[in-house]
Amino acid sequence: MKKFLMAIAGSAVLILGACGGGEEDEGESGGGEGGETYDETAAEESYQANCAQCHGENLEGASGPELPGGHSEDEVREMIDNGGGGMPADIIEGEEADNVAAWVADQ
């Protein structure tokens, strides 16, 4: 079942990436907390590959909680690093985690 879900998530990333939104250039940076920027395309791909299984395709929640706005980048990064509430720690690390944290905080 886990392989099936991973295959679905991977397929969704490829399909969504191929379709594009037509409004932004690939790899365009979004605004982050404090004027920082992040790579929106890379953040969405990382989220879909590592987080969407639990937090939903659109951050609406699934087996894990929804990720509504209002979380700071630091709060999101702390949860990624330390886990909690059933979420394992360090699912993603380093710059990838920084990028996803900035993107989630901006949603």
Q: Looking at residue 92, which CATH number applies to its domain?
A: 1.10.760.10
Region 62-91: what's the mean pLDDT? 91
Q: Is 47 among the domain residues?
A: yes
Q: Is 62 among the domain residues?
A: yes
Q: Is 98 among the domain residues?
A: yes
Q: Which two tokens stand for residue 44?
A: 């969405």
Residue-wise pLDDT tens digits, 14-45: 555 555 444 444 445 565 545 568 999 999 99
Question: 3-state SS of 85-98?
Answer: CCECCCCCCHHHHH
Task: Please give the Cα distance from 32 to 46 (Å, whole number).
Answer: 17
Concatenating the DSSP letter of every residue in 5-37 gives: HHHHHHHHHHHHHHH--SSS-TTPEEE-GGG-E
Burial environment of residue 22 by CB neighbours within 10 A (0 to 12, 13 to 18, 19 or more): exposed
pLDDT at 74 over 60: yes
Model pTM? 0.68
Q: Which two tokens stand for residue 82?
A: 């330390």
Domain that residue 52 falls in? 30-106
Q: Is 18 among the domain residues?
A: no
Mean pLDDT of the chain: 80
Quote the number of domains for the chain.
1
